[in-house]
Structure 1
Amino acid sequence: MLALTRKKNEALIINNNIEITILDIRGDQVKIGITAPKEIPVYRKEVYIQIQEENKEALNTQGIDALKKLLK
């Protein structure tokens, strides 16, 4: 993991096309702004994990249904 120190209104660039800017710092909360191409999805980690779990569940369900169809 790369750890960087940034102050309010400072930014970093990822892969030449993603910019992350520190918008505000209040106590233990940091507000960030992310500028990225529309084709690059940006999620909060907890939302990303939930999406991955739902995708795995859907895949398992579809796999079982496909197997049942093959066995009939």
Structure 2
Amino acid sequence: MLVLTRQVGEFIAIGDDIWVKIIEVRGATVRVGIQAPRNVEIHRAEVYRRIRESLAESQPG
């Protein structure tokens, strides 16, 4: 895992076409904005897990 320190307004680049911007830091909460191509799905981890579970349940076998 890469750990970085960023200030509000600064970006992190992931590959050539994904950018993460630090929008706001308020106490222990950090708001980020993510810019990525439309074909890249972006979900919070708990939402992603539910999607994966739902897909697994709908698969036969």
Task: Say if 2:23 is the partner of 1:20.
Answer: no
String of CA shifts for 1:24-48, please: whole Å, max 9, x gaps: 0000100100000000000100000
Which ranges of 4 or more aligned residues in structure 1 deviate by more than 3 Å? none
Please, what is the CA RMSD of the aligned residues? 0.7
Name structure 1 gaps, 5 residues minimum.
Answer: 64-72
The alignment's TM-score, normalised by the length of structure 1, stands at: 0.81
Name structure 2 gaps, 5 residues minimum.
Answer: none
Instruction: Compare the two structures and name the one with the higher strand fraction.
Output: 2
Aligned length: 61
Instruction: Compare the two structures and name the one with the higher helix fraction.
Output: 1
Distance 1:50 1:35 in 2: 23
What fraction of aligned residue pairs are identical, expressed as a percent? 39
| Higher normalized contact order (CA 8 Å, seq sep 6+, divided by chain length) | 2
The Cα of 1:13 is off from its aligned counterpart by 0.5
